[in-house]
Amino acid sequence: MKQFLQGVADDQAGYRALLDLLAQQFQAAIHHQQERLGEIAAAIGTLVDTLEARRARRVELATRLTGPQPAIERVFALLRPESRTRVESDWKALEQMVLAAKAAGKRNGELLAEQYTIMQRVLHGEDQTYEPA
């Protein structure tokens, strides 16, 4: 249980770092800082790998604690009421960070894709389905 709870706390810190990196990525994209974008992408990739490994470990620990069909509610049920309230609050905060990171990642991806599309138009011109005869 201690490992499970520590993983949640570690992920909260990890997602705060991820949100910061995504904000930096957005700013670097707006300012067309290609080298910085590469550095940030590498840091994001490393952090996401760490977060995914922690998630997998959390599922493994939840399975050990509650059986073959792990559910966070069952893990919470194993805690004393005073601890349960705090952990449930931490879990909800983590879920909100995950959603915020997904939204920021989507926003950044859309911005980068749009910039790429514009650059392709500038370099190669518009693709015209119907060209004047």
- The whole-number pLDDT of residue 122 equals 74
Q: Taking the model in full, what pTM does it have?
A: 0.85
Instruction: Fill in the amino acid letter for 22.
Output: L
pLDDT tens-place values along the chain, 133 residues long: 999 999 999 999 999 999 999 999 999 999 999 999 999 999 999 999 999 999 999 999 999 999 998 899 999 999 999 899 999 999 999 999 999 999 999 999 999 999 888 877 777 776 665 566 5
- The whole-number pLDDT of residue 129 equals 57
Supply the DSSP symbol for 78.
T
- The whole-number pLDDT of residue 8 equals 95
C-alpha–C-alpha distance, residues 31 and 111, integer Å: 12
- The whole-number pLDDT of residue 127 equals 61
**What would the two tokens of residue 14 be?**
């990890």
C-alpha–C-alpha distance, residues 24 and 5, integer Å: 29
- The whole-number pLDDT of residue 131 equals 60
- The whole-number pLDDT of residue 120 equals 78
Domains of the chain: 1-124 (1.20.58.300)
Is 65:75 a contact under the CB 8 Å cutoff? yes
